[in-house]
Amino acid sequence: EECEREKPPEGLAMDFIKRQFEIGEPEKDLCLIAQGLVCMGPATTSICGAQCPKVGIPCQGCYGPTKAVEDQGAKMISAIASDFGVEKDKTVDPEKVAEQLDDIVGTFYTYTLPASLIPMRVHKGGK
């Protein structure tokens, strides 16, 4: 774990997903995920010293997944669902969580789509 931002003592929990422009300058020392930003840091190989989060920009995942992660995007989707409490709180609607993301593939697979577990091509009409 290279990121120096502080995680809340009660653990990460999200009530909303925001884009950077919606919150402006994030709080200096607080974890970006705790502030509602999608940060790929937890599923990304940490060889950069967490340079993006240091300056208030969420990690984009450019160094690819950790050795323990087969599909970086799927890992982050799972992590966000967990942060929202989807598994524990049955009142949380996973579809409502997904609706808060404008571009799921672009957000979670910016650098790893060719190596992901999802099909490479989606045809019109789903065929």
Residue with tokens 């967490």: 50
Amino acid code (one letter) for 45: T
Q: What is the pLDDT of residue 126?
A: 53
Reading the chain (127 residues) residue by residue, the pLDDT tens digits are: 789 999 988 878 788 888 889 988 999 999 999 999 999 998 999 899 999 999 999 999 999 998 988 899 999 988 888 888 777 777 878 888 888 888 888 899 999 988 888 766 666 665 5
pTM of the model: 0.78
Provide the 8-state DSSP code for 65. B
Q: How far apart are CA 34 and CA 18, in angstroms?
A: 11
Residue 10 vs residues 33, 35, 83, 90: alpha-carbon distances, Å? 14, 14, 12, 20
Q: What is the pLDDT of residue 39?
A: 93
Q: What is the pLDDT of residue 115?
A: 87
Domain segments of the chain: what residues? Answer: 20-126
In terms of Cα–Cα distance, which of 26, 34, 24, 19 is closest to 56? Answer: 26
